[in-house]
């Protein structure tokens, strides 16, 4: 898949891009986990999300946040990383001006950044949020959440206890006009080591359902 270099506020942003085969192919942006915990765009969960969208005909972009890999800059506690994500989505939309749908997907820290991006881009049609760190970051900005999506969590997650995610999901589900699917995989931890297949199955099934309801 082609390597791409974007120009962000902190300099070069390193990415990987897979174009869809149709002119109006839907687009998806994939966001990686915490840079200070070794997170990058090649993390297995991120790569799995990338592949799931790619197999369904999306034009998909994943990239390294500032200071990760060959992306320039330094970690900026989420502020700069959100700017990086916005730059990446701008590029993805400019490269695919006739895209039929726009999705954002993220894992852990990337899920937090992705949900913030969602609030700033109301044109987003759907989201995938894997292991959102609802105990480490404030998610109260989701008021209201502008799009329907899937929140996937591990039942044995000791980094972000499932009850913390339940609290946010319950709040989101009080909103009218959106549907939040919340799936808990029993036995899965925060890092999905032996349960990566569950990510593939659950996210894949959700995407297939949404695309059947509203073909891209």
Distance CA(79)–CA(113), nearest Å, equals: 9
* CA dist 25 → 54, 121, 162, 195 (Å): 10, 19, 35, 30
How do 126-130 and 102-107 pair as beta strands? parallel
pLDDT at 174: 87
Long-range contacts of 166-169 (CB under 8 A, 24+ apart): 167/134, 168/132, 168/134, 168/139, 168/142
pLDDT at 206: 98
The phi, psi pair for 137, rounded to 5°, reads -130, 155
Distance CA(89)–CA(34), nearest Å, equals: 19
Residues 161-216 have pLDDT tens digits of 999 999 999 999 988 889 999 999 999 999 999 999 999 999 999 999 999 999 98
pLDDT at 84: 98
Task: Spell out the SS3 assignment of 48-86.
Answer: HHHHHHHHCCCEEEEECCCCCCCCCCCCCCCHHHHHHHH
Low-confidence ranges of the chain (pLDDT < 70): 1
Q: Is the pTM of this model over 0.95?
A: yes
Point out which residues pair with 130 in neighbouring strands. Answer: 107, 152
pLDDT at 187: 96
What domains, with CATH codes, occur in the chain?
3-213 (3.40.50.1820)
pLDDT at 1: 66
Tokens of 178: 């959106």
Distance CA(66)–CA(43), nearest Å, equals: 16
Asked whether 142 and 173 are in contact (CB, 8 A), the reply is no
pLDDT at 175: 85
């Amino acid at each position: 898949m082609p390597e791409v270099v974007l120009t962000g506020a902190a300099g070069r942003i390193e990415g990987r891009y897979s174009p869809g085969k149709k002119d109006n192919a839907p687009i998806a942006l994939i966001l990686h986990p915490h840079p200070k915990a070794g997170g990058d765009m090649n993390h297995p969960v991120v790569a799995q999300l990338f592949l799931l969208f790619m197999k369904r005909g999306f034009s998909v972009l994943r990239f390294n946040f500032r200071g990760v890999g060959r992306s320039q800059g330094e970690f900026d506690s989420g502020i700069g990383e959100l700017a990086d994500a916005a730059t990446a989505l701008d590029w993805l939309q400019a490269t695919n001006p006739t895209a039929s749908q726009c999705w954002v997907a993220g894992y852990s820290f990337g899920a937090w950044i992705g949900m913030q991006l969602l609030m700033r881009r109301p044109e987003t049609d759907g989201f995938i949020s894997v292991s959102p760190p609802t105990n480490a970051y404030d998610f109260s900005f989701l008021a209201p959440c502008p799009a329907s999506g899937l929140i996937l969590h591990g039942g044995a997650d000791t980094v972000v206890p499932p009850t913390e995610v339940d609290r946010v999901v319950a709040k989101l589900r009080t909103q009218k006009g959106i549907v939040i699917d919340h799936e808990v995989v029993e036995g899965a931890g925060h890092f999905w080591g032996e349960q990566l297949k569950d990510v593939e199955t659950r996210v894949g099934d959700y995407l297939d359902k949404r695309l059947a309801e509203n073909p891209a």
